[in-house]
Chains A and B, each alone.
Chain A
Amino acid sequence: MSTTDLVGILVTTFILGSIYGLVAIGMTLIYGALRILDMSQGSMVMIGSFVGWGVLVVAGWNPFVAILLAFAATFLLGTFTQLVSVQPLMKRRHEIDFEMLTFITTFAVAIVFTNLALEIFGPQQRNVTFVISGGINVYHGVNLPYQSLAMAVVSIVLMAALGVFLARTRWGMAIRAVAQDLDAARLMGVPVGKLYPLTMGLASALAGIAGVFLGGLYFASPQAGDQPLLIALIVVIFGGLGSLPGTVYAAYAIGLIQATAEVLVGTTWALPILYAVILLVLIVRPQGLMGKPSEARL
């Protein structure tokens, strides 16, 4: 492997890892606060990529509008998803297999969104072209496009903003409180009936913005939500369900593994290698980097 390859891997890791982090961090947030695996996150990415296409290609407006609209659209859809597929089961959460049923209901919502998009837009892949062109030549022949750099930077800024929100604001603290001890949080007066949909809306909105970026890097299509969902699951398990710092580290780790695999064995095998990695993690250390062993193992 040459130095060019190495630098290329680092650049790809930086870009992919940042965007993967944005997709996965919502999932971890939802798991921490609601104790569910939200399988509709992938479709939020897909919706975001279509918003990106609509704004940048069809309307010709600038990327900021795309980001804002994607945020708004997926925030609303995420809130709606929670109210429709999770909230009705919340009341019975102790009588039923809550985790599995919400797995299925959020998955059902994903199926609906994906296939509505399929009916409306058709299966073809659409390019999402950004306005920014050009890039930096990082090393001999390794080009870092400004557009990708901007995506990575925005992703990092958003993840940091989420961290600040959770650490310093009243509602951010409330979300953390609910994640740590639901009963105690309710005794403090936290209105969980409002907090749950808002949390899912926020998480979905982050995934939606990531969708704008992934659409720009690849393309927008109704099926384009499947892979981000699987990557998000891999990242979240690798990092440890419920741990935000773990998710961030894992995102870059997964980005690194994917980038390295692409160089060494080609793109086709990169994804199966990721699956093999996660298979190994689940057998050997299911709680991932920073999760709690008691939550993963019986």
Chain B
Amino acid sequence: MTTPILAVTDLWAGYGRAPVIRGLEVAVAPGEVAVIIGPNGHGKTTFLRAVSGLLKPSRGEVLLDGEPVQGRAPEYVSRLGLVHVPQGDGLFAEMTVEENLLMGAFPASSWRARRRALARAYELFPGVRDRARQRARTLSGGERRLTALARGLMRPSRIMLIDEPSLGLAPVAIDTVYEAIAELKASSTTILLVEENFTHVGGIADAVHIVEMGVIVRSGSFDDLSRDPTVVGTYLGSL
């Protein structure tokens, strides 16, 4: 395999004295859409936070395109091209949609570069453009997710981490969000996505990893895993 965009080795992280992630290892190849599935509380969100720098791991290595970033501040890691769309979108509630998007392009110091990125984001997400002047807190759940995704596009990224995009959304909204993610995949964005809900990832996942008690216990393609009866029974419920 060519150098993975993201390579995580023996990662340990947690809050206080209890480690939530215990030796997690995963790699994401360029252009790949990797999905991590697992029940709540087993480390999915903690893992993404440890990768993006919001949480400092106690042990282990995170390589972004070969460069070690574990324990570095999120400002630094994001400037290296890692975009993290956090759980619950992380939008700035009192700012307008357009202001949120512009914040996504913060590292770009030229006004023109930011405007160009904005135009591009609006092109990909026309629904978001329609709400440009609305305050973020007045948007519906699905619109917020789309805005968060659009914001993730505002700066050049090597990999996009997306945390539970379907969380708290009605089924129709979930479909719209996953359509948008499929578009991102089509434009060759490398994505690492975590979900509790297995059902929607089939169309986009190149690789699926199952996390339990803070470690990856199974990996494979979506088709393989969805045919394995033990996996289906234990983790996936009914499809």
**Residues of A bordering B, CB below 8 Å:** 170, 173-174, 176-177, 180-181, 183-193
Contacts and interface: CB of A to CB of B under 8 A. Distances in A.
Contacts of A181: 90-93
A71 B139 CA distance: 41
A184 B106 contact: no
Contacts of A177: 92, 95, 103
24 contacts: A170-B106, A170-B109, A173-B103, A174-B106, A176-B94, A176-B95, A177-B92, A177-B95, A180-B93, A180-B94, A180-B95, A183-B86, A184-B86, A184-B91, A184-B92, A186-B75, A187-B52, A187-B83, A187-B84, A188-B107, A189-B75, A189-B155, A192-B75, A193-B73
Nearest to A194: B75
A193 to B, nearest CB: 8
B86 A176 contact: no
Contact of A189 (B86, B95, B102, B107): B107
Given A170-B106, A174-B103, A174-B106, A187 B92 contact: no
A192 B74 CA distance: 10
B104 interface: yes
A269 B4 CA distance: 72
Contacts of B155: 189
B197 interface: no
Contacts of B74: 183, 186-187
A189 B53 CA distance: 11
A184 to B, nearest CB: 4
Contacts of A174: 103, 106
A102 to B, nearest CB: 21
A160 to B, nearest CB: 19
A234 B84 CA distance: 40
A176 B92 contact: yes
A187 B84 CA distance: 7
A287 to B, nearest CB: 16
A187 B95 contact: no
Interface of B: 52-54, 73-75, 78-79, 83-84, 86, 90-95, 99, 102-104, 106-107, 109, 114, 155
A186 B84 CA distance: 10
A191 B78 CA distance: 11
A245 to B, nearest CB: 12
B75 A173 contact: no
A190 B109 CA distance: 12
Contacts of A192: 75
Contacts of A188: 78, 103-104, 106-107
Given A187-B74, A188-B78, A180 B54 contact: no
Given A173-B99, A174-B106, A189 B90 contact: no
Nearest to B79: A189
Nearest to A184: B90
Shortest Cβ-Cβ A-B pairs, 4 listed:
A184-B90, A186-B74, A189-B107, A189-B78
Contact of A187 (B54, B99, B102, B109): B54
A249 B194 CA distance: 46
Given A176-B92, A177-B92, A186 B54 contact: yes
B226 to A, nearest CB: 32
B44 to A, nearest CB: 17
Given A176-B94, A176-B95, A190-B75, A185 B54 contact: no
A180 B106 contact: no
Contacts of B107: 188-189
B147 to A, nearest CB: 12
A190 B53 CA distance: 13
Contact of A191 (B75, B90, B104): B75
A149 B68 CA distance: 59
A288 B95 CA distance: 22
A25 to B, nearest CB: 17
Nearest to B110: A170
Contacts of A180: 92-95
A189 B52 CA distance: 11
Interface core residue of B53, B73, B92 (most chain A CB under 10 Å): B92
Q: Which of A170, A192, A193 has the most CB of B within 10 A?
A: A170
Given A177-B95, A189-B155, 13 more contacts: A180-B93, A183-B54, A183-B74, A183-B90, A184-B90, A186-B53, A186-B73, A186-B74, A186-B78, A188-B103, A189-B78, A189-B106, A190-B106
